[in-house]
Amino acid sequence: MVSTGMKPASLGSAYRMQHQGNESAAGDGHRTIPRPTPAEFRKLVSGPQENIIRAMDVSQPVFEEFKKILRDQAVMMLDCERFIHEQVPDIWAIYLDWAREELASFLSKYADAQWPVELYIEHYLSKKTYAKRHAFRAKMTKLRPAPNTVRVKSSASERGASLPPAPGGPPPPYEDHDFVQPHAANDDNITVENFLKTVNPDISHFLPAFEELGISSEADLVVVRSWAPGVRKDFFERELMGKMSALQIQALNIKLGEMN
């Protein structure tokens, strides 16, 4: 196993898991449980925990101890506020190596000796990350300035009077109207993509990542702009590190500070 310098899970728990795995394998005549198909795997990841227990063919107490061992180590090694595909590949590989060694006997009854680890951890991280990002989007929505609404009362309806007759004659010629070109009407409306283009270097290709965080309008940018520089930097490093470089994050933070 690759050493991580981190405290491993309880050896007592691991031993009990391995002992239970040995008993299970012996009782099943060394039956190997195959890996779910990709389609089945995706359903298990997004479904309830009970489906994972059935797929692994274990009892509830055994599964509870299995997931506790995995989660205790995941907290120390993985970023538990990111999806599985957002983890640092090398750290994820080290985590799998640790799990295969720590739970070797228990995992021996599974086809590739690791799919239960991949399945449960992806299920766990997805559930936590979705909840966290949903809470962030809800918070962003509450912080957005309320739109200015104008209530117009109809004095005519209140007094029971009839509406004035429509003016007669043809409409005025076009030159009497104040037409505004669409691009001119939107000049003061800063889109997130346009803002990202003003960052040096241009980071507009990260627009989907910002939308995933709930930053999709000028109002959202204003909310983030209102945070202290250190808070903004910590937020972007936590959410976007691995996608954006440290230089890009610093440039973004500076540009936000320059917003009027």
pLDDT mean over 12-32: 52
Which of 49-53, 136-140, 172-176, 182-186 comes out lowest in average pLDDT?
182-186
The pLDDT of residue 48 is above 80 = yes
pLDDT at 103: 94
Phi–psi pair at 28, nearest 5 degrees: -95, 5
CA torsion, ordered 204, 205, 208, 213, to nearest 10 deg? -50
In single-letter form, the type of residue at position 11 comes to L
Alpha-carbon span 6 to 15, nearest angstrom = 19
pLDDT at 5: 45
How much of the chain, in percent, has pLDDT values that exceed 90?
Answer: 31
The pLDDT of residue 23 is above 60 = no
Helices 246-258, 229-240: crossing angle, 10 deg rounding: 140
What HEC string does 18-65 produce? HHHHHHHHHHCCCCCECCCCHHHHHHHHHCCHHHHHHHHCCCHHHHHH
Which residue do the tokens 């209530």 mark?
A: 151
83-116: pLDDT as tens digits: 888 889 999 999 999 999 999 999 999 988 899 9
Those residues whose C-beta lies under 8 Å from the C-beta of residue 132, and which sit 6 or more positions away, are: 81
Q: How far is CA 170 from CA 164, 167, 179, 204, in A?
A: 17, 9, 19, 48
Alpha-carbon span 183 to 169, nearest angstrom = 33
Which of 54-58, 62-66, 132-136, 170-174 comes out lowest in average pLDDT?
170-174
- Here the tokens at position 27 are 């009782």
174-203: pLDDT as tens digits: 444 343 444 433 444 578 899 999 999 999
- Here the tokens at position 46 are 């997004």
pLDDT at 18: 47
Q: Is 110 helix (H, G, I), strand (E, B) or coil?
A: strand
pLDDT mean over 139-147: 66
Listed residue (189, 198, 224) closest to 210, CA to CA: 224
pLDDT mean over 23-46: 76
